[in-house]
Chain A
Amino acid sequence: MSEQLVNAKSQNEYAMSSPPSGFQVIIREFKKDKLAMFSLVGLFVTLLAIFIVAMFIDQDQLMKVSPRDKFAEPGEKFFLGADQGGRSISGQVILGARNSITIAFFVTLITGFIGIAVGLITGYFGGWIDNIFMRIIDFFITIPSLMIIIVLVTMIPKYTVTEFIFIMSTFLWVGTARLVRSKSLTESRRDYVNASKTMGTRDATIIFKEIMPNLSSILIVEMTLNFAGNVGLETGLSYLGFGLPPSVPSLGTLVSYANNPLILEEKWWVWLPASLLILLLMLAINYVGQAIRRSADAKQRLG
């Protein structure tokens, strides 16, 4: 009799510990993948450090041109040396990283918000709403968005971080929307959705309270990888000269100085820290994103 009790109890335990909840899956996945864990922790620490230190740096003071400090080597006065205008590299790297990450964050947030909303709605309703939005999305996809972003940036006279975020968001929401829409289409044909509809639940409730949570793992992966991509996009545009204005510190602008062979060979402290930081940030975000993606697919999980 006690054996039966014990068996029943252990069966209950098994019943309770599987399947684990979504979040726990993710945590378990990280614990198993040392690289992703390391990346996650490293990322948090770096971002925290960047944002905190950035609060103490005065941008105007930092970007003051001081000709006599031109190309100062790393040493006492400048921790990482100075660039052609005598401006501290370490300060620019920190502020530049903060700017890049803030821009990427907001762009991801805005595009994610719009993309997910549009994708869910069109996938759910289908029919002519779906058709219209898909044509709109097709239109946006065929436009060479990078070129148009460049043109817009050149045309607008006074622009800052905010305008830049809006310009980038205008073109980037379509990728997310397309992905979400295809998943939402399949989800919306499921039985539980039909059941809800029969019950008379409002559409909005169904979409955001029932379908979206089921897509959450995909959405998180998409947003994370988008984040990495957007950091890259912003630094890439600044590198080409079409990103932030030169008076605003940016990692891309620092890397673009490497175009000059003199700086590439001899004044390496100008571009190397920025390049390394970009590399490490992107790698870290990618590993984290991949770990989350693996955790969403049971067949690929490591843990």
Chain B
Amino acid sequence: MSKKLWTMLVLLIALMLVLGACTDNDDSSGPADLTKFPLVVDNEGEAIEGGTLKVALGTDTPFQGIFSWVLYEDSYDADIMGYASNVIFETDGEFLVNDKGIASLEVDQANNKAIVKIREGIKWSDGQALKIEDLIQPYLIIGHPDYEGVRYDGDFQNIIGAADYHNGKADTISGLKKVDATTLEISFTKLSPAIFSIGDGLWGYAEPSHIMKDIPVGKLLESDAVRKTPVTLGAFKFDKIVPGESIQFVRNEHYWKGAAKLDGVILKVVPTSSIAKAIETGKYDMTAGSLPATTYPEVRDFENITILAQPELSYSYLGFKLGKYDTATGISTMDPQAKMADVKLRQAMGYALDIEQVNEVYYYDLRSRANSLIPPVFESYYDETLEGYTYNVDKANEILDEAGYVDTDGDDLRETPEGDKLEIKMASMAGDPIAEEMATFYMQNWADVGLNVVLSTGRLIEFNSYYDKVQSDDPEIDIFMAAWGTGTNPSPAGLYGKESAFNFSRYTTPKLDELIAAIDSKEAFDIDYRANAFHEWQLYMEKNAPVIPTQFRTAIYTINDRVKHYDVNLETDFDLNQIELTAEEPIK
């Protein structure tokens, strides 16, 4: 018996070693050359009739499933909704509204009004006609006193009558007037250049009022109309939803640009550790949204795909908790006793981070060190002269010594100027294959300059609860690593303003209010004035560092060879209804 067992054991070990050895060792290491990536791909072949596009959503946790543009909270739901979108405006390469969409925009600067006109004959996926009430509906939802989402902010209150409606003093918003069956007139307190990028409180999506008006706003989040059977305007409509796991879309025959060539789309959740493999074996044609940059080394040699790249409208940053947000009044207040209240401490932490190495090694230069809170995509407003925070350990040590953070008890960790022990709690997100290594690395960077940083709750926080904790000012969190998309309107009011729930750092000063107001003021319709106002704001944020931007990102998309044509360019008119396939199944 033992002889047989021994032989089996030896065979098993030999097999494992052989398996390990017989892999093709590709030595194509080195960073990605971004100039080589196209924005468009065209594949040869006869298009088949219909066909179903297979899409993978790369995430390690089930998606939330809030399919409403007024209530959604994370990018996964947004990626899903992209296939059945209710967007009414289309924008050009500069993110300004043009007239190619369902609705056109006319701005009456003198009277602070915006006129929105919709085309005739547009229908929802359930056959009902699109009417002006559908454009008014989202405003009524967001402004409602029972609204549970985060979009009631300073921008929204810019609409005349919104505040009264929100406080219950009026049952409708006086600034929204239906002029006729296809025209809506919106009156604002003031207008700024942001209106052309769908800012200033203007809302770019419609909601099916024939369904929504009967649902109490407080119950919207759990209603079927949001979770199970959303009615939409996009190229595809929701057919079957398996909560948290997968969605089946079918062609929307009422789509105003023409019914889609595809029969439908299947979207499934795929864990980030196996998504590259799934693409290689041809289980999916593409991913919803872009691919996590850390999977780039795995996908770059696949032969059945083309990789497209595009700079993102987003950035990663390190945030500091400097105050609290009062959900009742909707205003942030700073806390002078906050652990991170000393600006020198924040600046030093920015200099101590070796983001450059992380970008090079883990992201293959698909990310670059950020020097501003405006992504470079916004060419007119991005200030490339800003120094930003770069990796400089000596400077970090210098600043800390100057500020009085010295090591008084010989444990290699700095104490506060008052002599108390300093332990900084950092919140970091789980969900990326290298999240754990990165968090450890950053904590090491800070330990190298004598700062004791530990993880809040002792471990990485799961994505869904992460932003809930940060937003509710959990006292366990002193600093946090986060990221977001700015959307097409680069104006900082929605992200850093005093009344914005998204201002996670809760930093607010009268000077900041002034600077933000200048960006969206009447004078800012002059592009030079606005560019200068942006420059002032970026400089102010850099000096005071309530948040420190860490990375600018480039999104990569993998498109399977059976997709006849795909375009990620923001300027072209490519629409999902134009997708065609050249084979029954994705190519392996």
- Name A residues whose Cβ lies closer than 8 Å to a Cβ of B: 34-35, 63-65, 67-68, 70, 84-85, 156-159, 245-247, 259-262, 265-266, 268-269, 272, 276, 283
Q: How far is the CB of B102 from chain A (nearest CB, A)?
A: 43
Question: Which chain B residue has the least Cβ–Cβ distance from A259?
Answer: B273
Question: Which chain A residue has the least Cβ–Cβ distance from B281?
Answer: A261
Closest 3 CB pairs of A and B: A268-B20, A85-B437, A67-B361
A158 partner residues in chain B, CB cutoff 8 A: 458
Q: How far is the CB of A52 from chain B (nearest CB, A)?
A: 25
- Name B residues whose Cβ lies closer than 8 Å to a Cβ of A: 2, 5, 9, 13, 16-17, 19-20, 23, 25, 273-274, 276-277, 297-298, 357-358, 360-362, 433-434, 436-437, 440-441, 444, 457-459
- The docked-state distance in angstroms from the alpha carbon of A201 to that of B434 is 65
A67 and B458 contact, CB distance less than 8 A: no
Question: Which chain A residue has the least Cβ–Cβ distance from B298?
Answer: A262
- The docked-state distance in angstroms from the alpha carbon of A63 to that of B437 is 10
Provide a sorted-by-A list of 5 A–B residue pairs whose CB atoms are within 8 angstroms: A63-B440, A67-B362, A157-B458, A265-B23, A269-B20
B276 and A266 contact, CB distance less than 8 A: no
B458 and A159 contact, CB distance less than 8 A: yes
A84 and B437 contact, CB distance less than 8 A: yes
B434 partner residues in chain A, CB cutoff 8 A: 84
B440 partner residues in chain A, CB cutoff 8 A: 63, 65, 85, 246-247
Q: How far is the CB of A104 from chain B (nearest CB, A)?
A: 22
B436 and A246 contact, CB distance less than 8 A: yes
A245 partner residues in chain B, CB cutoff 8 A: 458-459
- The docked-state distance in angstroms from the alpha carbon of A156 to that of B13 is 39
Query: Do A261 and B362 form a contact, CB below 8 Å, given A67-B357, A157-B457?
Result: no
List 16 additional A-B contacts (Cβ < 8 Å) besides A85-B436, A260-B273: A35-B5, A65-B440, A70-B361, A84-B434, A84-B437, A85-B437, A85-B441, A158-B458, A246-B459, A259-B274, A260-B433, A262-B276, A262-B277, A262-B297, A268-B20, A272-B20
- The docked-state distance in angstroms from the alpha carbon of A63 to that of B444 is 10
Q: How far is the CB of B74 from chain A (nearest CB, A)?
A: 22
- The docked-state distance in angstroms from the alpha carbon of A117 to that of B277 is 53
Question: Which chain B residue has the least Cβ–Cβ distance from A269?
Answer: B20
Query: Which of B23, B25, B297, B441 contacts A67 (CB under 8 A)?
Result: B441
Question: Which chain A residue has the least Cβ–Cβ distance from B295?
Answer: A262
- The docked-state distance in angstroms from the alpha carbon of A268 to that of B457 is 32
B436 partner residues in chain A, CB cutoff 8 A: 85, 246
A68 partner residues in chain B, CB cutoff 8 A: 357, 361
Question: Which chain B residue has the least Cβ–Cβ distance from A84?
Answer: B437
- The docked-state distance in angstroms from the alpha carbon of A269 to that of B23 is 13
- The docked-state distance in angstroms from the alpha carbon of A247 to that of B436 is 9
Q: How far is the CB of B469 from chain A (nearest CB, A)?
A: 13
Q: How far is the CB of A53 from chain B (nearest CB, A)?
A: 22
Question: Which chain A residue has the least Cβ–Cβ distance from B278?
Answer: A261
B17 partner residues in chain A, CB cutoff 8 A: 272
B273 partner residues in chain A, CB cutoff 8 A: 259-261
- The docked-state distance in angstroms from the alpha carbon of A245 to that of B436 is 10
Question: Which chain A residue has the least Cβ–Cβ distance from B3?
Answer: A35
Question: Which chain B residue has the least Cβ–Cβ distance from A247?
Answer: B440
B358 partner residues in chain A, CB cutoff 8 A: 67
Kindly count the residue-residue contacts between A and B in the assembled complex, taking CB atoms under 8 Å apart.
64
B297 partner residues in chain A, CB cutoff 8 A: 262
Q: How far is the CB of B7 from chain A (nearest CB, A)?
A: 13
- The docked-state distance in angstroms from the alpha carbon of A162 to that of B260 is 60
A276 and B13 contact, CB distance less than 8 A: yes
A67 partner residues in chain B, CB cutoff 8 A: 357-358, 360-362, 437, 441
- The docked-state distance in angstroms from the alpha carbon of A261 to that of B298 is 10
Question: Which chain B residue has the least Cβ–Cβ distance from A68?
Answer: B361
- The docked-state distance in angstroms from the alpha carbon of A84 to that of B434 is 8
- The docked-state distance in angstroms from the alpha carbon of A67 to that of B277 is 24
B277 partner residues in chain A, CB cutoff 8 A: 261-262
- The docked-state distance in angstroms from the alpha carbon of A67 to that of B360 is 9
Question: Which chain A residue has the least Cβ–Cβ distance from B435?
Answer: A246
A63 partner residues in chain B, CB cutoff 8 A: 440
Question: Which chain B residue has the least Cβ–Cβ distance from A275?
Answer: B16
B361 and A65 contact, CB distance less than 8 A: no
B457 partner residues in chain A, CB cutoff 8 A: 157
Q: How far is the CB of B550 from chain A (nearest CB, A)?
A: 15
B362 partner residues in chain A, CB cutoff 8 A: 67, 70
- The docked-state distance in angstroms from the alpha carbon of A35 to that of B2 is 7
B437 and A65 contact, CB distance less than 8 A: yes
- The docked-state distance in angstroms from the alpha carbon of A159 to that of B277 is 35
Query: Which of B5, B16, B360, B458 contacts A272 (CB under 8 A)?
Result: B16
B13 partner residues in chain A, CB cutoff 8 A: 276
Q: How far is the CB of B352 from chain A (nearest CB, A)?
A: 15
Q: How far is the CB of A15 from chain B (nearest CB, A)?
A: 35
B2 partner residues in chain A, CB cutoff 8 A: 34-35
Q: How far is the CB of B320 from chain A (nearest CB, A)?
A: 21
A261 and B458 contact, CB distance less than 8 A: no
Residue among B5, B357, B440 with the most chain A CB within 10 A? B440
- The docked-state distance in angstroms from the alpha carbon of A261 to that of B274 is 6
Query: Do A65 and B274 form a contact, CB below 8 Å, given A158-B458, A266-B25, A276-B13?
Result: no
A261 partner residues in chain B, CB cutoff 8 A: 273-274, 276-277
Question: Which chain B residue has the least Cβ–Cβ distance from A36?
Answer: B2
- The docked-state distance in angstroms from the alpha carbon of A260 to that of B277 is 9
Residue among A65, A70, A266, A268 with the most chain B CB within 10 A? A65
Question: Which chain A residue has the least Cβ–Cβ distance from B456?
Answer: A157
- The docked-state distance in angstroms from the alpha carbon of A65 to that of B358 is 11
A64 partner residues in chain B, CB cutoff 8 A: 444
- The docked-state distance in angstroms from the alpha carbon of A85 to that of B362 is 10
- The docked-state distance in angstroms from the alpha carbon of A262 to that of B25 is 12
Residue among A63, A246, A259, A283 with the most chain B CB within 10 A? A246
- The docked-state distance in angstroms from the alpha carbon of A234 to that of B181 is 68
Query: Which of A34, A246, A260, A269 contacts B274 (CB under 8 A)?
Result: A260
- The docked-state distance in angstroms from the alpha carbon of A194 to that of B5 is 48
- The docked-state distance in angstroms from the alpha carbon of A283 to that of B9 is 11
Question: Which chain A residue has the least Cβ–Cβ distance from B354?
Answer: A67
Residue among A262, A272, A276 with the most chain B CB within 10 A? A262
- The docked-state distance in angstroms from the alpha carbon of A265 to that of B13 is 16
Question: Which chain B residue has the least Cβ–Cβ distance from A154?
Answer: B459
B23 and A266 contact, CB distance less than 8 A: yes
Q: How far is the CB of B211 from chain A (nearest CB, A)?
A: 39
- The docked-state distance in angstroms from the alpha carbon of A159 to that of B457 is 10
Question: Which chain A residue has the least Cβ–Cβ distance from B280?
Answer: A261
B9 partner residues in chain A, CB cutoff 8 A: 283
- The docked-state distance in angstroms from the alpha carbon of A74 to that of B16 is 16
Q: How far is the CB of A58 from chain B (nearest CB, A)?
A: 14
- The docked-state distance in angstroms from the alpha carbon of A281 to that of B180 is 80
A34 partner residues in chain B, CB cutoff 8 A: 2
Question: Which chain B residue has the least Cβ–Cβ distance from A280?
Answer: B9
A266 partner residues in chain B, CB cutoff 8 A: 23, 25
Q: How far is the CB of B471 from chain A (nearest CB, A)?
A: 20
B458 partner residues in chain A, CB cutoff 8 A: 156-159, 245
- The docked-state distance in angstroms from the alpha carbon of A283 to that of B6 is 12
Question: Which chain B residue has the least Cβ–Cβ distance from A253?
Answer: B436
A276 partner residues in chain B, CB cutoff 8 A: 13, 16
